[in-house]
Amino acid sequence: MHSKPHSNRIRPPLRRAAAGLAVALALAGCAVGPDFKTPALPKAADAPYTAAPLAERTVSAAGDRVGQSGASQRLINGQDLPAEWWKLFRSDALDQLIRAALERNPTLEAAQASLRQAEESYNAASGNLRDPAVNGQLGGSRQRAILSGSTPSEFNLYNASVSVSYTLDLFGGSRRQLEGLTAAVDYQRFQTEGAYQTLISNVVTAAVQEAALRGQLQATRELLQAQEAQLAIIRKQVELGAHPRAVELTQGTLVAQTRAQIPPLEKALDQTRHQLAALAGRFPGEGGLPEFRLESLNLPTELPVSLPSELARQRPDIRASEALLHQASANVGVATANQYPQITLSGSYGDQHTVLKGVDVGNTLWNIGAGLTQPIFNGGALSAKRRAAEAAYQQAEAQYRATVLKAFQNVADSLRAIETDAAALKAQAEAETQARESLEVNTRQYKLGGISYLALLDAQRSYQQARIGLIQAQAARYADTAALFLALGGGWWHRPAAAG
């Protein structure tokens, strides 16, 4: 009579295996280290951008030379920027130049390539960290064996095998690494978006600068022409004895001073043109760039202004800083997981054939194994690395707060500039009008002998300064508008191909 094996001899090992598998599966669902959460902005971030309330509309400026640049601008709170915000300037030449820059600018291309590199780095690492490593091996060799008391014999040895290994991610170290790599991709994506918006803003600003320099250069040349004509009249009067020689010298000095202002303006204009060419991915000598004048640009009269609570999700630099913070958080998890045991499962299966004098002896080989690695003593290196990762997270958190503060400062500065520069243009337009009228009156009186030459000279200088100041004030309004659009994030989230 044969008794059946006692069931208790089988069940305990099965129970232990089942319990171990359950523990492994349970641990596989968790990851040590902090779970990242988007930092909450302080309540102060919901307050208005500026301490003093902003007017809903800016003041307007009128004058013969002001044109559309003196229009009133209305702030529309809570409205998003369009993706192609530069079109609000209604300049076909500007639109074409920006599109060319987006296609050919090497800095933007480099940022896009860095993004692709980060994405492929993630793809390469994700396969190694998530999936088992499977390798095939095929080999053949000719060998010679000499056994004691026998003649040497030669034989061929062939083997083919497949090996599999996998490290159980019990404490989430691999998942934290993938989390950090994902954050690195996000960082590069927002860096690319920041480069995109910066490029557009630089093109707009350079175009406005060119228009301002052209205006200043034209005004200076017109003033020089008028002063040279006046000098010719004074010389004749000196020859006739109507004026002393000192008057001619004084007027000649004024002409020389005005003429000396032209070369620096020409140099600045050429350099701005060179900058525009470089931004568009061209060499300065290629030519073909459009020319910009203040009259060819239109000042946007309605300015969308995002809510303060939405700014952190719209600024590429804030999102990039947040991605760095996320990566630092994941690195803390990796450093923590490295302090726990690691279990590696491995196995292989293959055939081995020995061919000796026409005899083929085949063997099937396989093995299954598991290994456990437990840090025991490393001089405190793992703990120090975890503390270093925590310090790096604190650093990234402080940098994130600094980036947010800087972003809100940029918007506040731009909004105040929009308001104050509109008032400055109005005042400058009035000053230019009065200076021009004063010059006309003084010129007539001087011809009639009613005022001295020094009075006319003062009127000429005042008008020259007012004319240049008016052009600079006009350009400031266009530049302020572009700066505000950039400070608010540029509307990138409305583009189909934008970073999510």
Helix, strand, or coil (residue 472): helix
DSSP H or E run through 145:
strand 133-145
Is there a domain that residue 93 lies in? yes
**Domain annotation covers residue 474:** yes
pLDDT at 244: 87
Q: Which helix (H) or strand (E) holds 373?
A: strand 359-373
Residue 371, in any domain of the structure: no
Segments forming the whole domain that contains residue 40:
27-132+170-340+380-494
Please state, in angstroms and rounded to a whole number, the distance separating the CA atoms of residues 283 and 328. 41
Taking the C-alpha atoms of residue 94 and residue 169, their distance in angstroms, rounded to an integer, is 54
H or E element: which one contains 214?
A: helix 173-239
| Residue 264 included in any domain | yes
SS3 content of the chain, % helix, strand, coil (to 5): 65, 15, 25
Per-residue pLDDT tens digits for 307-358 = 998 999 999 999 999 999 999 999 999 999 888 888 888 788 888 777 766 6
pLDDT in tens, 448-468: 888 887 788 888 888 888 999
- The count of structural domains within the chain is 1
Q: 120: which DSSP letter?
A: H
d(CA 159, CA 457): 103
CATH number (domain holding residue 247):
1.20.1600.10
pLDDT for residue 22 is more than 60: no
Contact assessment for residue 200 and residue 280, using Cβ atoms and an 8 Å cutoff: no
- Give the pLDDT mean for 151-179: 79
Pick 43 or 28 by higher pLDDT: 43
| Length, in residues, of the chain | 500
Q: Where does residue 92 rank: exposed (0-12), middle (13-18), buried (19+ CB within 10 A)?
A: exposed
**500 within some domain:** no
Q: Is the pLDDT of residue 361 over 80?
A: no
Helix (H), strand (E) counts: the chain: 10, 6
Q: Which residue has the higher pLDDT, 182 or 343?
A: 182
Which two structure tokens, joined as six digits, stand for 224? 């020089």
| Contact criterion met (CB below 8 Å) for 324 and 399 | yes
Residue 378 carries which side chain, given as an amino acid letter?
N
Cα angle 21-23-26, degrees, rounded to a multiple of 5:
110
**Mean pLDDT within 492-497:** 81
Q: Is residue 375 part of a domain?
A: no
Report whether pLDDT(18) > 70. Answer: no
214 inside domain? yes
Collapse the DSSP code of 304 into the 3-class scheme (helix H, G, I; strand E, B; otherwise coil) and give the result. strand
Q: Which helix (H) or strand (E) holds 260?
A: helix 245-260
Domain assignment present for residue 223? The answer is yes
Give the per-residue pLDDT at 29.
Answer: 54
pLDDT in tens, 187-244: 999 999 999 999 999 999 999 999 999 999 999 998 898 888 888 888 888 888 877 8
pLDDT value, residue 139: 79
pLDDT surpassing 60 at residue 8 = no
Q: Which residues pair with 349 in a beta bridge?
A: 162, 366
Provide the percentage of residues in the chain whose pLDDT is more than 70. Answer: 90
The count of other CB atoms within 10 Å of the CB of residue 136 is 9
Do residues 464 and 223 make contact, with C-beta atoms less than 8 angstroms apart?
A: yes
pLDDT value for 10: 38
pLDDT per residue over 405-450, tens digit each? Answer: 999 999 999 999 999 999 999 999 999 999 999 999 998 998 888 8
